Amino acid sequence: MKINTVAVTALFIGATSLLSASNVYSPDKGVICDKKAGFCVDSYGISLGFTKEYLGTKAENKWLKILNDDNFDSTAFTFSNGLSCDTKQKICKKSKWDDNADAHWTKVLFGK
């Protein structure tokens, strides 16, 4: 039996995309969480309260240490699926290098 490697690769990439996409989700209006990266955000940035509520105390404690660093900017972040948001500019993009807003995630986080 001959296996079509292109089809198998496409199937694998599709399955991987679905898995990583499910790591990033919105549990409530104005909130996006990333199970893989272990944080949640609101329109102000990384939120310890929402991180604890949706991902648990362990995730909250991890980010509490990170956020105590004065050099860490919690207002711009990238999720494990590549989605990148900036709360100062009020925009989410499919990646850091994308110039266009991701309409869905921008609306979820910022309501516009």
53-103 pLDDT, tens per residue? 999 999 999 999 999 888 899 999 999 999 999 999 999 999 999 999 999
Task: Give the residue ranges of DSSP H helices in 42-111.
Answer: 48-55, 57-67, 103-110
Rounded-to-integer distance, Cα 85 and Cα 110, Å: 10
Work out the average pLDDT over 2-28. Answer: 55
Report phi then psi at 80, rounded to 5.
-65, -20
Of the pLDDT bands very low, low, confident and very high (cuts 50, 70, 90), residue 5 is: very low
Rounded-to-integer distance, Cα 81 and Cα 10, Å: 17
Span between the terminal Cα atoms of the chain, in Å: 52
Domain count, the chain: 1
Residue 93: CB atoms within 10 Å:
20
Which residue has better confidence, 42 or 6?
A: 42
Radius of gyration of the chain (CA): 16
Strand extents, DSSP E, 1-55: 24-28, 31-34, 39-42, 45-46
pLDDT tens readout for residues 16-52:
444 445 899 999 999 999 999 999 999 999 999 999 9
Domain that holds residue 38: 5-110
So what's the pLDDT on residue 21? 54
